[in-house]
Amino acid sequence: MATTTVSDTPVPAPTEHTHHGAGRVLTVSTIGFTLMFAVWLQFGVLGLPIRKEFGLSDVQLAWITALAVLNGSIWRLPMGILADRWGGRRVFFWMLLLTAIPAYLISTASNYAMLLLYAFLVGFAGNSFSVGIAWVSAWWPQRRQGLALGIFGAGNVGASVTKLIGPTLIAMVPVAGLLGGVIPGGWRFVAVLYSVLLVIMAIVLWFVAPKHDHKPAQGRPMKELLAPLKQMRVWRFSLYYVVVFGAYVALAAWLPKYYMDVYDLSLGDAAHLTALFIFPASLLRPVGGWVSDRVGARKVMYLTFSVMLVACGILMMPYGFIVLQHADGTTSEVLPWSVNVWLFTVLVVIIGCAMGIGKAAVYKHIPEYFPNDVGAVGGLVGSLGALGGFFLPLLFAYVASFTGMAQSTFFVLFIFVAWAAIWMHITVVRVLHKASPELGDKFEHEGADIDSQVAETGGHEQPATVGSAPRP
């Protein structure tokens, strides 16, 4: 009976040359994803005039955003598989056209129920990530996939598009609309504009992208495509992505409120400071891919988790001081602690930089281990990561309510980062011990004293020869 061996060694890439037309695929997919990401998270800005017009509570408004995020997460696995089977060009084209319909319908909403429905439907735009990842991976060789996927993933910057243009458009276009009301005004104009841009993008993609497409999963049975999902490694990658992407989505929505509550800033100032977090968390993704191509994704993930743990560890400390009771009955306050708005912003931006680099490193792992199943594996990892953007804000709110401290937001994030970092390190140690079991109980190699060797060689330590270990 045949047996299947699961190895911790990355699978060799099926091809090492860049296909003709790969640049066009990367360009149109990145622009299309940026637009779809902007549509997906548009309620971060549109929600404010919507709340005023419909008289919504904060909870009701939160559900509009949550439903859009939810629907942008749950279909990533099947859409990634479809891209691998049918080709990314065809799937991305139809996604753009289908998303344009609810994008326009948002402008016609006349009650809260309609808003919930259309917000859920337009959230489908978020699933374009797994389609683009599968499409780009099929066209680029493994040695350059880190950079290519990083450039594509920089489309996350779409989260700030509505924040930058939305308020201006809402103010410029009168509520009565244009052309006698044919084109609605106010916040509804933004929804109409997005629907038109989605149709235009679909046409551009169809005619610019190469007509022939790569379909790594064509003809393969569904059972075979889903088989990699049984590996624990896939779920570990998913946790990594919750930390670097799910938390990014959560903080992008949560930070304006944090700035307003803790530092008493205006909404405009809070939005601009939040943008300082969003941009590096998106635009540094290509850098993360480039570095991962050269030094390895594992080293990049160690750096990412370390930086996030330090920054979150500082930000989660509650503000206050220690009161000392003296023998004479007097008291004194010592060791006061607080983080001013500028230090807070610097640390949040550092977290954003780590997230941007880490997002690329996570997806560098996937085509290395699953070169023929990027759609399925990337879809699941992306789906679970995006769901982090759905449940993390809820955790932030509940923990803050329970503790009475806004800083508990970063305690929640610290716990998730620590969980991912520990799991990754345990896996790495196990793999290294499996490769060299004779070193399992050793602090250093047996033989001559290392310090003596260093002295005898003029201060240069001679490395011992150890069998290479597979990557976890």
| 0.85 exceeded by pTM | no
What are 322's strand-pairing partners?
334
Both structure tokens of 357:
């680099």
Q: How far apart are CA 274 and CA 255, in angstroms?
A: 6
Q: Which helix (H) or strand (E) holds 325?
A: strand 320-325
What are 219's strand-pairing partners?
none
* 333-374 per-position pLDDT tens digit: 666 777 889 999 999 999 999 998 998 888 788 877 887 777
Closest CA to 129 of 390, 386, 392, 356: 386
SS3 334: strand
Amino acid at 111: N
Q: How far apart are CA 231 and CA 226, in angstroms?
A: 10
Q: How far apart are CA 61 and CA 115, in angstroms?
A: 10
Q: What length does the chain have? A: 472
Both structure tokens of 209:
């992208």
Q: Which residues of 263-287 are buried (b: 16+ CB within 10 A; e: fewer)?
A: bebeeeebbebbbbbbbbbbbbbbb
CA distances from 400 to 193, 270, 406, 414 (A): 37, 19, 5, 14
Both structure tokens of 456:
């005898």
Tell me the Ramachandran region of residue 6: left when phi exceeds 0, alpha when psi lies from -120 to 50, beta otherwise: beta
* 131-178 per-position pLDDT tens digit: 998 888 888 777 777 778 778 877 878 877 777 777 777 777 776 566
pLDDT in tens, the chain (472 residues): 444 444 444 544 444 555 677 889 999 999 999 999 899 888 877 877 888 888 887 778 778 888 888 898 888 888 888 888 888 899 999 999 999 999 999 999 989 999 999 999 999 998 998 899 888 888 877 777 777 877 887 787 887 777 777 777 777 777 656 666 667 878 888 899 999 999 999 999 999 998 887 776 666 776 776 777 777 888 898 899 999 989 988 888 788 878 878 888 876 778 788 888 988 887 888 888 888 888 888 899 999 999 999 999 999 888 766 667 777 777 776 667 778 899 999 999 999 999 989 988 887 888 778 877 776 787 788 888 888 888 888 788 888 888 888 888 899 999 999 999 999 999 888 887 787 777 666 666 555 454 554 444 444 444 444 444 444 5
Contact by Cβ (8 Å): 25, 87? no
Phi (first) and psi of residue 322, to 5 degrees = -100, 130
